[in-house]
Amino acid sequence: MIESLKKQDVRKRCEEALQKAKEYQHVLNAVVTFYDIEEQLEGLNAIREDAPLYGIPVVLKDNINTKGVRTTASSRILDNYIPVYDAHIVEKLKAAGAVIIAKSSMDELGMGGTNRNAYTGKVNNPWDVTRISGGSSGGSAVLVASGAVPIAIGTDTGDSIRKPAAYNGIIGLKPTYGRISRYGVIPYASSLDHVGLFAAAVHDAAKALTVLAGRDDRDMTSSYEAVADYEKAINSDIGGKRIAVFDNVLEAIEDSRILDNFKQLCETLKKRGAIVEHVRLDDSLMNALVPVYFIISNAEATANHSNLDGIRFGMREDGDTMEEIMIHTRTKGFSSYVRKRFVIGSYSLFEENQEKIFRKAQKVRRKIVEELARVMNGYDVLLAPAASTVAPHDEDACEEKLSKTYLVAENHMVLGNFSGYPSMSVPTGFLEHMPIGINMTAHPFDEQSLFDIGAAIEEETGLKDKIAEVKA
């Protein structure tokens, strides 16, 4: 899609993208803030026309700092926050010639998987607006799936790019931990957060990663690993590629139609010369994914957002004392869902609880990562359905259950956050007129295998640049 867009007039394509996003807003509710793009269009005069994203319209998740443009992380408490600097990835995008048209809605502070708890309200799926977009990067996913933009930026702490990608029928990439700098990104959980992206085609995702990846001294977790030209290196001839099928996930899925689609894909990959074998992780460790994630992520979030108190930062509510101001501000500034997560995080960090809860969760996380490394040894990617169902209707969406389907099939992608391994979701078909997809996890800094196999899947399914028709 990026290459076809480049054949159009720059101003025309950017203005059309902005107009389309505005036209769809009352239906999808995907945008928090629209840009005035005139200054950026004028700024392109200083950019070479052969820049990789020259004049390409993009969208940023609203937890990414943008100088002079409101950045709320879809939380009431940050409704008045206007950053004084750009995030590293914003600098990268602008240098590559991209034009930012909007900041997209998200689950508040990144906490959620439905995009129902944004301060601006639920984001709707463009394939069926009665269904959820998935979260927390739902707004970015929806704006790519609806055809408003070819590239959108998201963040992923548990599966917040890859699950919405599956629900919306697009590519969702979470690269290796440290592959993209997080400088200027409002955090959720620092040891789990990744910056990633959405695209409607594998080649576009590869091009975008080449732009965004690389060392940034302002983020000490960013990697010195050399950045490849991922798009140029794509090779969809996957003969000899070794693919491990994730049996724990298959066994937890109840919908036979999801399984049939996945099995058919596996047969197709075999016909293309891939070696497809079945593996499984220790069941007790798989059942620990959700509790370990909740303990670590909420503890880190509590520490990261301790400054959102109405005194040092964010919106302020009235009170007679400093304590009252903080209580009133946090009560009105955060949704009940987020306040609940802060309670969990605070409890885990109490001095008397740190060893038996937080430290124990960290130890279990290490065992999970060791088990993942053991199972993936000798394989290029680990393959599984990205979700156990199509995107649920709003009233059916539930994030916290204790069923095997929820604990394993709906949360297995957190393995990529625990380990930092790169992971990507790719659409593979439709069910009930809604998209479904698969997820692949590769070894650290082997994003190329994800793109190679993803391109082969794309060729077989014919779903490249498949866009939803939105009735605005």
Q: Tell me the average pLDDT of the chain.
A: 96
pLDDT of residue 8: 78
Cα–Cα distance, 375 to 283 (Å, whole number): 13
446: pLDDT strictly greater than 80 = yes
Residue 400 has a pLDDT of 57
- The rounded radius of gyration (Å) of the Cα atoms in the chain is 21
| Cα–Cα distance, 339 to 301 (Å, whole number) | 11
In-domain check, residue 179: yes
- Reported confidence tier of residue 397, pLDDT bands at 50, 70, 90: confident
Would you state the pLDDT for residue 313? 80
Q: Is residue 267 part of a domain?
A: no
Provide the number of structural domains found in the chain: 1
Question: What's the pLDDT at 402?
Answer: 62
Whether the pLDDT of residue 399 is over 60: the answer is no
Tell me if 271 is assigned to some domain: no
Q: For 155-191, write each residue's pLDDT tens digit.
A: 999 999 999 999 999 999 999 999 999 999 999 999 9
Q: What are the helix (H) ranges across 44-168? A: 88-95, 138-145, 162-168
Please give the pLDDT value at position 232.
98
Task: Using the predicted structure, report yes or no on whether residue 384 has a pLDDT greater than 80.
Answer: yes
Beta bridge partners of 434: 431
What does the pLDDT average to over 323-327? 91
pLDDT in tens, 215-261: 999 999 999 999 999 999 999 999 999 999 999 999 999 999 999 99
Say which CATH number the domain at 148 has.
3.90.1300.10
Residue 156 lies in domain? 2-238+457-461
Buried b (16+ CB within 10 A) or exposed e, 127-141: bebebbbbbbbbbbb
398-419 average pLDDT score: 85
152-178 CB burial, b ≥16 within 10 A, e <16: bbbbbbbbbbbbbbbbbbbbbbbbbbb
pLDDT above 80: residue 401: no
Counting Cα atoms < 13 Å in the Cβ hemisphere of 315 gives 17
Q: Which residue has the tokens 């302020």?
A: 316
CA distance linking residue 413 with residue 137, whole number of Å: 15
Catalytic positions, written as ranges: 61, 136, 160
The answer to the question of residue 49 being in a domain is yes
The reported pLDDT for the residue numbered 381 is 98
Domain assignment of residue 381, yes or no: no
Query: Per the confidence metrics, is the pTM higher than 0.85?
Result: yes
Tokens linked to 341 = 């997560």
d(CA 7, CA 49): 12
Does any domain span residue 320?
no
In which band, very low, low, confident or very high, does the pLDDT at 472 lie, cut at 50, 70 and 90? Answer: confident
Indicate if the pLDDT at residue 385 is higher than 90: yes
pLDDT > 60? residue 72: yes
Q: Is residue 6 part of a domain?
A: yes
Residue 405's pLDDT is: 79
Q: What is the mean pLDDT of residues 54-59?
A: 98
Q: Is 392 within the bounds of a domain?
A: no
